[in-house]
Amino acid sequence: MNTPNTKEKDIIKKGEFDVDYSKGLLWTVDDVLKNFEHLFLYDQYYSRPNYENRLFGRWHPDKVIEGIAVNVKLKDLSSETKEEVKKYVKENGVRFFTANDDDEGYPKGHPKYDEEYCEDRCYGYYLDTENNKNINFEPLDRHTASDLGHTGLYAKNSEGQYKGV
């Protein structure tokens, strides 16, 4: 965990954030949900295992405190809280994958599934903290479009089928 600067220490002293520097940011899942507008994680990211099972998110704009909130990272959460948040996102979020423009979203085993075009899919879970079961293009925009050239985002619907978003 990064050691906070003087301004951050003042806010922490005021009780805005409860930190034990040996354990990380001592938040609960509810604290994370009320401070972040969305959360997502990949469980399969083509050619970048360092992205797998790692939390990503964006702060609620009204929760940013004089620019300090952006310095409190999800990676700074305690290990226990991180695992609880990941579990919550997987259980309550939307299952998705991103893909390149040649991938038409067919599942493995489908006659039109093409291994060559589908091998670089990135799978994960996305949670809009206000509207569960809603998804936007954040995983695609922040990572796979620039990193892998992906242009498609597919989300699993209630029937268990992936559909383009």
Instruction: Write the single-letter amino acid at 98.
Output: T
One-letter amino acid at 133 equals K
DSSP codes of every residue in 39-76: EEEEEE-TT-GGGBT-EEEEE-GGG--TT-GGGS-GGG
- In tens digits, the chain (165 residues) has pLDDT values of 444 444 444 444 434 555 554 455 678 899 889 888 889 999 988 888 888 888 888 888 777 665 555 555 788 888 899 999 999 999 999 999 888 877 778 778 888 878 777 788 889 999 998 877 778 777 777 788 777 778 888 888 888 888 888
For the chain, what are the domain ranges? 6-164
- Number of other CB atoms surrounding residue 143 within 10 Å: 20
Which residues have a Cβ under 8 Å from the Cβ of 141 and sit 6 or more positions away? none
**Count of beta carbons in the 10 Å neighbourhood of residue 148:** 19
Closest Cα partner for 57 from 80, 84, 76, 32? 32
Q: What is the pLDDT of residue 67?
A: 54
Question: What pLDDT does residue 125 have?
Answer: 92
- The SS3 of residue 71 is helix
Beta bridge partners of 153: 98
